[in-house]
Chains A and B, each alone.
Chain A
Amino acid sequence: MQQRNKLLVAAAFLAPAIIAVIFLRIWPATSALHESLLAPGETTYSLENYAYIFSDPVFLRSLQVTLVFLVVVAPLQIVIALALALLVNAAIPFVGLWRAIILLPVAIPQSVSAVVWGVAFRPDGPVNAVLIAMGLEPMRFLTSAEQAMGSIIVIVSWIGVGYWMTFILAGLQDIPKSLYEAVRIDGANRFQQFWYVTLPQLRRPLTFVLVANTVANFLVFAPVQILTSGGPQGSTNLIMNEIYTRAFVSGDRSSAMAATVVLVTAVLAVVLVQFRMMRSPEDKGI
């Protein structure tokens, strides 16, 4: 009776959230899987849509662009975030203010950041003005197939590194001072202190940032859709933009659903790792 009563109470508290999970995650994921297995005009399941997208050079190029983007952007952002965290992890005047300023861009909607950087990257815009003032050649940025992805990476990194810095900073502040004292007595210089104490102690926050950063960057959409629409020549066609284009520009729903399933599967794999890391060791039993 007691057990049943508890179950009912728990169900009452959980009902809205469970309905939300089903309606907002499980149902759309299932319906994407269902539709992805139905070739256009067919009523029986087949892998035709998958065969189609995996032989479509546009989709394959988008996968390649996304993977290269992830491989570049994650280490880049983590190294910058780590450097910034090391820099602001000290008793300097107004340190809270400097940290807050570096964190600010993450608060701004990505579409706003995209629009603003789009103007900044114009051929006659301020970024080129700075390059010219430094005696360099002006660049084409978003209109060049070679530079467009680099420009997108600058934008998303300006937005994100302060956020990732926050995790690493918290990790740095958890490192016991005694560890540094111990190696200092052994005569370790600053680099050795960093290499033998800081980095090993940061293993957990750094891994977490790597995982969470990968999830976030899988979904980069607003800067691409607003600034390049995936171009020039598909050079910035990240997978989220590819799915959007298939579903709403070309109106090819079946292949958009297949691409969605590919994306959700990849993201789910990374999210499972992230979830394992979020739980503290004493939680591990469950």
Chain B
Amino acid sequence: MNNNATMVRTSLTVLCAILFALPLWWVAVSALRPENDIFRYLSPLSWGTLLPLNFTLEHVVELWSGPFRLAIMNSIIVTTVTILVGLAICSAAAFALAIIDFPGRNIVFIVMVVSFLIPFDAIAVPLYQTMRNLNLQNTYTGLVLPGIGNGLAVFLLRQFFLGIPKELREAAMIDGMGWFGVFWRIYLPLSVPALISAALILFVFQWQAYLWPLLIAPAPDYKVAAVAIAQFSTQYDVNYALIFAAALFISLIPMVILTGFQRGFSASVASTGGKE
């Protein structure tokens, strides 16, 4: 490629990136300026539109004294537990489906992955009644449960396990290691990249969840951030500055995590995309 073509391509790419980043930039700027300034610099557009001329951390601090703190803590707790329990369940299932040659394995694999591929929200409404009857409304258990089984995570881990040479396991089993030892001491330590990808999938699902927490955890004590921000935004006297500060905070956590693992995430996402 000659220099001119590279220049054009680079400029176009930067322009697209700016377009995608602009709403996020605007969220950050609005969170870091006095509330009165949020709609102040819009007509005409000026430098003040995109720069916090009267920079303040007031709303970010306010966020931590208000009800948002609890909501964000709830999101963090629910997501962390989901990742830990989800990884245990999905990796154990993937191990059996990849390694143990038992009768009916293929049908179990197909039913499990296909069922989990149906987005959870589609059956959230019928499940809600069951969960309520089990007294799981307004509990962390009720919030965590939908996230623990994930078809993509099972699929991804199984693919990875299939790639680990079976000689390793055969040698270990001749030395007297049991199935659990093979799983715990050989497969899991060798699968850290796949486990990270699976953790990211579980994380994104739970951090994004909206419909289910809206139904199952309406009590203020169990409200998660994604629901809290939506409800604050429809109040009669909306505090926009607080909304933006919350939006900034709720977005920042996944953005930092995804950017940190971007290569791994992209690779794992793509590997479920029917590569040849």
Contacts and interface: CB of A to CB of B under 8 A. Distances in A.
Interface in A262-277: 263-264, 267-268, 271-272, 274-275, 277
B266 A170 contact: yes
Contact of B93 (A13, A115, A256): A13
Contacts of A268: 114, 118
Most chain A CB within a 10 A radius of its CB, from B145, B243, B273: B273
Contact of A226 (B96, B112, B209, B230): B230
A53 B42 CA distance: 46
Interface stretch (B58-66, B119-127, B189-197): B119-127
B76 to A, nearest CB: 13
A139 interface: no
Interface residues of B, number: 104
B1 A112 contact: no
Interface in B229-259: 229-230, 233-234, 240, 243-244, 246-247, 250-251, 254-255, 257-259
B126 A133 contact: no
A69 to B, nearest CB: 16
Most chain B CB within a 10 A radius of its CB, from A112, A130, A271: A112
Interface string A90-118: 11110111111111111111111111111
B53 interface: no
A88 B13 contact: yes
Interface of A: 3, 6-7, 9-10, 13-14, 16-18, 20-21, 23-29, 31-32, 35, 84, 87-88, 90-93, 95-120, 124-126, 128-130, 132-133, 158, 162-163, 166-167, 169-171, 174, 204-205, 207-209, 212, 215-216, 218-219, 221-222, 226, 240, 243-244, 247-248, 256-257, 260, 263-264, 267-268, 271-272, 274-275, 277-281, 286
Interface of B: 1, 6, 9-10, 12-14, 16-17, 20-21, 23-24, 26-27, 39, 42-45, 49, 88-90, 92-93, 95-97, 100-103, 105-106, 108-130, 145-146, 148-149, 154-155, 179, 183, 204, 207-211, 215, 225-227, 229-230, 233-234, 240, 243-244, 246-247, 250-251, 254-255, 257-259, 262-263, 266-267, 269-276
